[in-house]
Amino acid sequence: TEGGISDEAKARAASLIEEAASVLANGGTVAFPTETVYGLGADARNTEAVERIFKAKGRPSDNPLIVHIADVSQLDELVLEVNETERRLMDEFWPGPLTLVLPVRPEAVSPRVTAGLDTVAVRMPASEVALRLISAAGCPVAAPSANRSGRPSPTLARHVREDLAGAIDGIVDGGPTGVGVESTVVQAGADGTVTVLRPGGVTAEQLARAAASVTRDPALDRAAAEDSPAPRSPGMKYTHYAPKGALCVVEGPTPSGVSDYIAAELERAARRGEVTAVLAFDEHIARYKAHTVVSLGSLSQLATAAQRLYAGLRRCDEEGATFILAEACPQEGMGAAVMNRLLKAAGHHVVHLNR
């Protein structure tokens, strides 16, 4: 039939979404695709349901969850106030990969969702499946990424199954997610200032078009220092996404210096018996000999690196990599989110070359 999707397939998908929605409405947990990564949803108002999310993921309970809505009309019941800047950001970027931290209306969601903070993080995802599921469930849906805590976020339903099969009530398979890294989490002042608490699918450059100023939470760039202040987004303090092997990010002033270093280190590591892996850009990838070579696409197209990063890190584990090197990329556009996740995966283990 036209468009490749038959009426029967559409009807089947619609009834699966209805079924998943009724699981959510009845206090269950369902994994579903968003445009960023797969989320593990539950009714945000239902503490027992939300506790099932924490249990399935093995997530620390002081790490609050993002609440997903399908329509801005749902905001009134969740938050006390939306300022002009926040309104502008919603108009500009919703539905889409932007999460706003807003003053929570007391009792609007389970205290397990906010981890006791007086704010709640809210976003409206751009995925059609997610929007239909949330509408049909008829409740605000709390949903962290649908991975076991400490594993890379899932960009395929298969990743969710690998991590959470048996621990959750269902998975809606919507194919690969588009963006590949999580939403950008921001706090916005009435004066137009926007603070990025977590870089993600909406870039700082895009935010700057709708804001008077855009700054990064200073804790983002001090995460490696022991005396650094707590990040304003509590989740940023955990080492997420860490592969089992030792991962190190390599950066330097010249691309050729970086690729010389990586090529030599991979060979040395292989000689001492390591199972080697490399995450690299297409401009240099032909130079590397490793057991596992993950392409992050072209340096001129960093959105591709975002799409491929998590699956690439999972592949390193699947292949039993013990020694993993990754090329750094410029912190421009989607490069900011890619570097943030890569550095966290590496436990901030970085080699800075001088030349």
Closer to Mg ion at the Cβ: 98 or 280? 98
User: Which range, of 2-10, 22-30, 32-40, 336-344, touches ligand TXA by CB under 6 A?
Assistant: 32-40
Element (H, E) at 119: strand 119-123
CA 126, CA 66: separation in Å to the nearest integer?
15
Is there binding between residue 233 and ligand TXA (CB under 6 A)?
yes
Please tell me the total number of residues recorded for the chain in this structure.
Answer: 355
Neighbours of 167 (CB within 10 A): 15
Neighbours of 304 (CB within 10 A): 19
Angle, nearest 10°, between helix axes 302-318 and 335-345?
Answer: 20
Is there binding between residue 313 and ligand TXA (CB under 6 A)?
no
Full DSSP string of 5-57? --HHHHHHHHHHHHHHHHHHHTT--EEEE-SSSEEEEEETT-HHHHHHHHHHH
Is there binding between residue 145 and Mg ion (CB under 5 A)?
yes
Q: Is 165 left (phi over 0), alpha (psi -120 to 50) or beta?
A: beta
Element (H, E) at 265: helix 255-271
Is there binding between residue 120 and ligand TXA (CB under 6 A)?
yes
Is there binding between residue 36 and Mg ion (CB under 5 A)?
no
Exactly one of 28, 95, 140, 144 binds ligand TXA (CB under 6 A); that residue is 144
Closer to ligand TXA at the Cβ: 178 or 252? 178
Report the candidate in 301, 291, 283 with the shortest Cα–Cα distance to residue 325. Answer: 291
Buried b (16+ CB within 10 A) or exposed e, 79-104: beebeebbeebbeebbbbbbbbbbeb
> Please, what is the end-to-end C-alpha distance for the chain in angstroms?
58
User: Which range, of 104-112, 118-126, 145-153, 198-206, touches Mg ion by CB under 5 A?
Assistant: 145-153
CA 225, CA 210: separation in Å to the nearest integer?
32
Measured CA distances, 92 to 89, 149, 199, 217, 302 (Å): 5, 32, 17, 22, 22
Exactly one of 23, 134, 185, 204 binds ligand TXA (CB under 6 A); that residue is 185
Is there binding between residue 141 and ligand TXA (CB under 6 A)?
no
Size of residue set near ligand TXA by CB under 6 A? 30
Q: How far is the CB of 145 from Mg ion (least distance, A)?
A: 3
Exactly one of 52, 132, 151, 198 binds ligand TXA (CB under 6 A); that residue is 198
Closest residue to ligand TXA using C-beta atoms = 235
Is there binding between residue 235 and ligand TXA (CB under 6 A)?
yes
Q: How far is the CB of 202 from ligand TXA (least distance, A)?
A: 10
User: Which range, of 11-19, 181-189, 246-254, 262-270, touches ligand TXA by CB under 6 A?
Assistant: 181-189
Is there binding between residue 117 and ligand TXA (CB under 6 A)?
yes
Q: How far is the CB of 191 from ligand TXA (least distance, A)?
A: 20
Is there binding between residue 149 and ligand TXA (CB under 6 A)?
no
Where on the chain is the footprint of ligand TXA (CB under 6 A)? 34, 36-37, 39, 63-66, 97, 99, 101, 114, 117, 119-121, 125, 143-145, 182-183, 185, 197-198, 232-236
